Structure 1
Amino acid sequence: MPDIKHFDPDAALERAERLFWKHGTGSAESSVQAVTTATGLNRSSLYATFGSKHDLYLAALRRYLDHRARPAFRRLAEDQRGLPAIRDFFTALIDIRCTGEHSGWGCMFVNAHVDPQHNDPGVRALLDEHHRLLRDALRSALQTAVRLGQLATTHPIEGTAETLALLAYGINLRSRAGATAEELLGTLHSALAQLSPRA
């Protein structure tokens, strides 16, 4: 007879995602015991469904990418307003990082860059994919800004997209360290002001 699961694997994965997002993989708060407590699964069910703790972490990273990061990047890439779209993307990012349920957690992918498992090939592949999607979305918005005459011609698109991606990483790190929304918005406005032809 087939093995019938008496739990929702996606709900368990979502709870594991939140745990790893907030604590990473190397702390006592994300031990196997903590994972079983957070997910509500015993060890045998956890391993049978997801494999090792490392496999669960990879699945949680993938879930974060698909459910949280990718939709935001898609909205930015498809927005036809140019620089205002970039401004609103970063403003929303700062709001999410500094207020509400996930305030102070940063970005799970930015956190993963300094996680004990950051050199694992599977983790590296996901980190590279996340960076590519973020950079490409920013590049699309910058290309729209060029068409609309909003971007100074001295700014190369590729380099500017990479710079803005690094700004996003910095916002995530600084918010996790306690920087206020006002501080981060000030940095954002200064950075974006340099992109205007008037600068």
Structure 2
Amino acid sequence: MGRPRGFNEADVVRSAAKLFATRTYDGTSVDDLVSHLGVHRNSLYKTFGSKRGLYLAALKWSLDHEVAAVAERLAQAGGHVAETREIAADAVTGTALDLVLLAAVERAPVDAEVARLVGEAFATLDRAFGDAGRVADNGEATTVPAATTALLIGLRTRARSGTTDTDIAQVGAALAQHLGRP
């Protein structure tokens, strides 16, 4: 019988998600994972099979916890414009979408499973924005949910690249005006 696992798998996946969201998949070596996560190389391979296996688990965790949390907050906002803007602002200035953002540009073009997971994340956000828009518009879907998701991801990209909060707020306000929102 093997030794009992000396680490909490959920904690390792969560920490790996944070690491991949800051360093990217290609920018994170197995040695980085081992030292950052405090997991022995053999344990990492035994549990996740490979670096990619851990990455997929981390991306799924991000979808289930971080992206889902943004979508849930949007649902709870019930279409209230001020609350929806606040949630979007938090998503733009926070780190909840970082792993999905990096996965979309780095791994999705070369890994079909990552592309599928990124697509699920975008669809989750699209549905949340669409539902919020229908509530705000008395049941009529007058907003463009996919465009709103694209804007959110684009603004997060700008924020990560050093664009100031003022610039991001101005872009968000301009889009809200263009979509006919007060």
- When the two structures are superposed, what TM-score results if normalisation uses the length of structure 1? 0.83
Query: 1:77: how far off?
Result: 2.0
Is this contact kept in 2: 1:82–1:143, CA < 8 A?
no
Distance in 1 of aligned mates of 2:19 and 2:107: 15
Distance in 2 of aligned mates of 1:107 and 1:6: 29
Gaps of 5+ in 1: none
Greater RCO, 1 or 2 (C-alpha within 8 Å, sep 6+): 1
Residue 91 (structure 1) aligns with: 89
Distance in 2 of aligned mates of 1:79 and 1:17: 27
Is this contact kept in 2: 1:13–1:39, CA < 8 A?
no
DSSP 3-state at the match of 1:113: helix
Residue 164 (structure 1) aligns with: 148
Residue 21 (structure 2) aligns with: 21
TM-align CA RMSD = 2.1
DSSP 3-state at the match of 1:46: helix
Distance in 2 of aligned mates of 1:188 and 1:172: 11
Distance 1:74 1:42, change over 3 A: same
Residue 44 (structure 1) aligns with: 42
Is 1:68 matched with 2:66?
A: yes
Query: 1:117: how far off?
Result: 5.5
Is this contact kept in 2: 1:21–1:108, CA < 8 A?
yes
Counting only pairs closer than 5 Å after superposition, residues 59-138 of structure 1 correspond to structure 2 as 59-96=57-94, 107-116=98-107, 118-138=109-129
Counting only pairs closer than 5 Å after superposition, residues 133-148 of structure 1 correspond to structure 2 as 133-147=124-138
Query: 1:186: how far off?
Result: 0.8
Percent pairwise identity: 26
Query: 1:34: how far off?
Result: 0.7
Select 1:175's aligned residue among 148, 159, 167: 159
Query: 1:82: how far off?
Result: 3.3
- When the two structures are superposed, what TM-score results if normalisation uses the length of structure 2? 0.90
Is this contact kept in 1: 2:92–2:155, CA < 8 A?
yes
Distance in 2 of aligned mates of 1:25 and 1:117: 11
Q: Which runs of 4+ in 1 moved over 3 A?
A: none
